[in-house]
Structure 1
Amino acid sequence: MEILVTGGAGFIGSAVVRQLAAAGHGVRVLDALLPAVHPSGRAPDLPDGVPFLHGDVRDAAAVERSLDGVDAVCHQAAMVGPGVDPADAPAYAGCNDLGTAVLLAAMARAGVRRMVLAGSVAVYGEGRYRCPEHGEVAPGPRRPEDLDAGRFDPTCPRCGAELVPGLVTEEAPGDPRNVSAATKLAQEHLAAAWARACGGAVLVLRYATVYGPGMPRDTPHAGVASVFRSALARGEAPRVLEDGGQRRDFVHVGDVAAANLAALAAVGDRPPGSVRAYNAGSGEAHTVGTMAAALAAAAGGPEPLVTGEYRLGDVRHLTADSSRLRAELGWRPQMPFLAGTAEFAAAPLRD
């Protein structure tokens, strides 16, 4: 296939590009090189034969030029991370939702009917919990007074009991808790409306917490693993929010890239007008504190500092069930957690 990778100069997008090129596909990259994750503004090193188109997905003319002769789009371009403050909302909505709308409209005009969309498990919000008395429940937003007192785990909204976190399936309703998550869910809705109107097919990969070589240095938008790794590169202790007990599914970027290849191979066989979502994670839960400690140990750096600080937009526990992706697309994560963190601790960050 001839595949356009939007955001193909970024952390995940560039890993997808490398695997697509190695598999023999024709690949082209459209990327705006936004300063938040590309502070140097330099075009990336891409595999031989992969053209780089400097353009923004919000620019209809640039998108239309990039789509000429394309069979499918792998849409990675997005502003990610929970954001710094509410003032980030217009930037998230512009990059993620307006950009996706412009891209989908151009695809409709160009007759391109296949898309793999980079989603996020953040659309589930706090995820899945079980109360000993009331069964599966959806906790409300965490209260500042509880967080100030160090009570970080959500409680049952009916009886106040402690909850047991579990795995979230793709059927769970959307419940985004920050602006970034809300815009990622809106991307899915836009893609679904486009597929129905144009007879297209969309596969959504809802990424867990992705880490690995190529993460950008010193940016709050890159994710917690990059924040920890950036601190260690400066010779500083990683600062862990809350008590470090937040559960996440840390999945290696190489495994996420492989999931994109599997989805691109499958999307052409999907019926017109269809959308299907897949959680893309390692299948293992680790705490944020464990990730910080593993990186510090592998890098020979200072031990993490648990701060007790918090951000209201963060969720406590979020781990998703990725069995649908394994069963239907034959994908399997290959990188074990300790091996992946050791590799990441030694790999240079992108300046």
Structure 2
Amino acid sequence: MFDVREDPGADVRDPEAVERALSGVDAVCHQAAMVGLGDGISDAAEYVSRNDLGTAVLLAAMAKAGVGHLVLAGSMAVYGEGRYTCPRHGSVRPGPRSVADLDAGRFEPVCPACGDDLSPAPVDEDVPADPRNVYAATKLAQEHLAAAWARCTGGSAVSLRYHNVYGPGMPRDTPYAGVAALFRSALARGEAPRVFEDGRQLRDFVHVRDVAAANATALEAEAAPGVLTAYNTGSGEPHTVGEMARALAVAHGGPEPVVTGEYRLGDVRHITADSSRLRAALGWRPEIGFEEGMTEFARAGMREA
């Protein structure tokens, strides 16, 4: 275990510390990253340093030590908006939503060809990447670095593209966390969760224990040498952000969520997972359903950021 929370000197950007941590290791599960939207573009240098420089240092040390298998904590954020279908034009990829539309409360993307309403659908791993914020861009860069390492060394790399992970032990009161942690932090303070846009954004909320099981499975499974293989890691059970906020509030016994109409430019409207590749290739299955997981999370403790 190489964890800055346990050892303040355990910085993945420190080549000597990473080399020491790799002694006697034959595979690496790389979770270290700066997550969330943070403070926007002002955090860009820190995101790149922690996520991409840190990954480059790790990969160089792995090559030096002859460690040949990597499991990377990837992210669904690399896709940008999810998959959509238009009744007239089939599968389409809408561009970033405009400030004017968001200010007017027009949150749903429309068909870029005809302007008609779209129907969201799960994304698979073949959807082209289109990161829409700094964090997403650094997560895609991590995959490119890992793929380059695999080609150069003959090692095997797996990226588990996590969807919205939640569960006990999430950090409290920090913008560098997912929406589940923000809502749970508000409830811990006795406040109503503040739901942005209209609360109808679709996400795939996957429990942290299921994600841990996916990592363990990927560490032990045979992987193709010389390439990076990406797998969506989601529950397969889409819910809206508003539904998640209400489930937490009810289970916690806290105030009803407030839908604010606010927005963040880096957010996408809908993104849900098609995790069939991971299920078929590695035999992984999520075990914890939405209601069970949210009830546990609503009553579990959080850690200091």
Report the TM-score range of the alignment, normalised by the length of the smaller protein.
over 0.9
Residue 321 of structure 1: aligned partner: 274
Structure 1 CA distance for aligned equivalents of residues 131 and 154 of structure 2: 28
2:159 to 193, 197, 204: 204
Confirm or deny that 1:72 pairs with 2:27.
yes
Residue 212 of structure 2: aligned partner: 257
Partner SS, residue 92 of structure 1: helix
Confirm or deny that 1:148 pairs with 2:120.
no
Matched residue type, 1:119: G
Confirm or deny that 1:333 pairs with 2:283.
no
Residue 246 of structure 1: aligned partner: 201
TM-score, structure 1 normalization: 0.85
**CA offsets per residue over residues 25-67 of structure 1, 9 Å max, x none?**
xxxx11234xxxxxxxxx3xxxxxxxx6841111001000100
Matched residue type, 2:269: R
Cα contact 2:207–2:293 (8 A) shared by 1: yes
CA RMSD of aligned residues (A): 0.9
Structure 2 CA distance for aligned equivalents of residues 54 and 264 of structure 1: 26
Partner SS, residue 173 of structure 2: coil
Partner SS, residue 295 of structure 1: helix
Structure 1 CA distance for aligned equivalents of residues 294 and 168 of structure 2: 10
Alignment of 1:25-174 (within 5 A): 29-33=1-5, 43=6, 54-174=9-129
Cα contact 2:73–2:162 (8 A) shared by 1: yes
Deviation of 1:287 after TM superposition, in Å, equals: 0.3
Structure 1 runs of 4+ off > 6 angstroms?
Answer: none
Cα contact 1:53–1:66 (8 A) shared by 2: no
Deviation of 1:246 after TM superposition, in Å, equals: 0.5
Structure 2 CA distance for aligned equivalents of residues 320 and 291 of structure 1: 16
Matched residue type, 1:30: F
Matched residue type, 2:234: G
Cα contact 1:30–1:53 (8 A) shared by 2: no
Structure 2 CA distance for aligned equivalents of residues 221 and 132 of structure 1: 38
Residue 307 of structure 1: aligned partner: 260
Instruction: Tell me the percent identity.
Output: 70
C-alpha spacing 1:271/1:53, structure 2 compared with 1 (3 Å): farther
Cα contact 1:248–1:286 (8 A) shared by 2: yes
Structure 2 CA distance for aligned equivalents of residues 205 and 85 of structure 1: 24
Structure 2 CA distance for aligned equivalents of residues 244 and 205 of structure 1: 27
Confirm or deny that 1:281 pairs with 2:253.
no
Cα contact 2:235–2:273 (8 A) shared by 1: no
Matched residue type, 2:167: G
Cα contact 2:40–2:134 (8 A) shared by 1: no
Gaps (5+ residues) in structure 2? Answer: none
Partner SS, residue 157 of structure 1: coil
Structure 2 CA distance for aligned equivalents of residues 240 and 92 of structure 1: 25
Matched residue type, 2:182: V
Structure 2 CA distance for aligned equivalents of residues 235 and 83 of structure 1: 23
More relative contact order, 1 or 2 (CA 8 Å, 6+ apart): 2
Partner SS, residue 255 of structure 2: coil
Structure 1 CA distance for aligned equivalents of residues 223 and 246 of structure 2: 43
Structure 2 CA distance for aligned equivalents of residues 316 and 325 of structure 1: 24
Partner SS, residue 168 of structure 1: coil
Structure 2 CA distance for aligned equivalents of residues 340 and 313 of structure 1: 27
Structure 1 CA distance for aligned equivalents of residues 284 and 9 of structure 2: 32
Structure 1 CA distance for aligned equivalents of residues 8 and 61 of structure 2: 16
Cα contact 1:30–1:54 (8 A) shared by 2: no
**CA offsets per residue over residues 104-140 of structure 1, 9 Å max, x none?**
0000000101100000011000010001101100000
**CA offsets per residue over residues 256-290 of structure 1, 9 Å max, x none?**
00000110011xx3232121110000001100000
Deviation of 1:222 after TM superposition, in Å, equals: 1.3
Structure 2 CA distance for aligned equivalents of residues 193 and 331 of structure 1: 27
Structure 2 CA distance for aligned equivalents of residues 120 and 204 of structure 1: 8
Structure 1 CA distance for aligned equivalents of residues 226 and 253 of structure 2: 52
Structure 2 CA distance for aligned equivalents of residues 333 and 292 of structure 1: 21
Structure 2 CA distance for aligned equivalents of residues 320 and 213 of structure 1: 22
